[in-house]
Amino acid sequence: MYLESFSLPIDREESLIKARMEENGGALGYIDNLYPCRIFGPKGLRDIVFRKVTVFYGSNGSGKSTLLNLIAAKLELNRIAPFNSSELFDSYTDACQYELGYDDEGFRLRIPNGSRIITSDDIFDYMLAVRANNADIAEEIERGKAEHRRLKYGDTVKFNGMEDYEELRLQVMARQKTLSRRQFIRRTAGTEVKLNSNGETALAYFEQKLQNDTLYCLDEPENSMSPKMQLELLKRLEEMARYCGCQFIIATHSPFLLSMEGARIYDLDSSPVEIRNWWELENTKIYYDFFAKHRNLFEE
């Protein structure tokens, strides 16, 4: 387990605010946004102790994504998508503390290379990029069909200098008996990325990105996923945590991901914040009550 604990500077928040105010113009200096100060103090959350899988549960605005961003910033994890920041964020992050775990021989571990935070924005951007890529390739395929016909059956390209080299190379390729039109187009236009439903594409994204022996912060990874896909992701994450040397810190309110085996769940909707079992959480109880109310429909 790479990350063992993380401490928030709750007792230093007011001094951080005061110092920033002085930088902005003295005792009456104006601060546009106090974020992330005064979020976790009222909840009584100072120290977070991790397991192989640690989950931050809570409604929107409870601070679960903020915690992931603070951890990712403090540990300098790789990230792609931007995040909500403020003029106090960097100083707040600097004031945070953390402890790393130890290996079997008692040596202090390090955060593995490649460790990163993955957000739902990363997945949406991936889907958009794939769609744009496929649209570009579709246009290239249409051009490739016309190009293949012209080069295969048109006049032979005359080589008068290096400016004719690429045209001649393509014609030689098009006239090869062993190379079909489809193979020519694939080589010149590229291959489309397989794109299924949003949920299947999101699951494929995690299959591609998650590597062994790595620390990951996952911010609502269930977005775009059907319950079936969420169960597939649950299985994958459990396997990687148990057998592949991965540690996961997850922000979610999905009952399926909350049920991850051995997960330590911080309920950010409670005040003070408490560690709870997944079946004790409000979101899970709402699902249970709904299906219990309609139990007779499933028993017919």
- Per-residue pLDDT tens for 84-141? 889 999 999 999 999 999 988 889 999 999 999 999 888 888 777 666 655 555 555 5
Residues of the chain with CATH 3.40.50: 3-114+215-298
Q: Please, which residues bridge with residue 53 across strands? A: 248
pLDDT tens digit sequence for 172-189: 666 776 566 666 566 555
Range in 98-102, 139-143, 235-239, 260-264 the model is least confident about: 139-143
- pTM equals 0.79
| Cα–Cα distances in angstroms (integers) from residue 119 to residues 40, 74, 108, in the given order | 22, 17, 28
Please report, as a single letter, which amino acid is at residue 50: F
**123-161 burial: b if 16+ Cβ within 10 Å, else e:** beebbeebeeebeebeeebeebeebbeebeeeeebeeee
pLDDT of residue 163: 67
Non-local (6+) Cβ contacts of 155 within 8 A are none
* pLDDT of 151 higher than 70: no
- Is residue 258's pLDDT more than 60? yes
pLDDT band at 42 (very low <50, low <70, confident <90, very high): very high
pLDDT confidence of residue 277: 96
Closest among 284, 240, 288, 289 to 261, alpha carbons compared: 240
pLDDT attached to residue 32: 83
Structure tokens given for 282: 């409000």
Across the chain, mean pLDDT equals 85
Pairing label, strands 97-100, 264-267:
unpaired
Convert 162-199 to b/e letters by CB count within 10 Å (16 or more is b). Answer: eeeeeeeebbebbeeeeeeeeebbeebbeeeeeeeebb
Q: Answer yes or no: CATH 3.90.550 is held by domain 3-114+215-298.
A: no
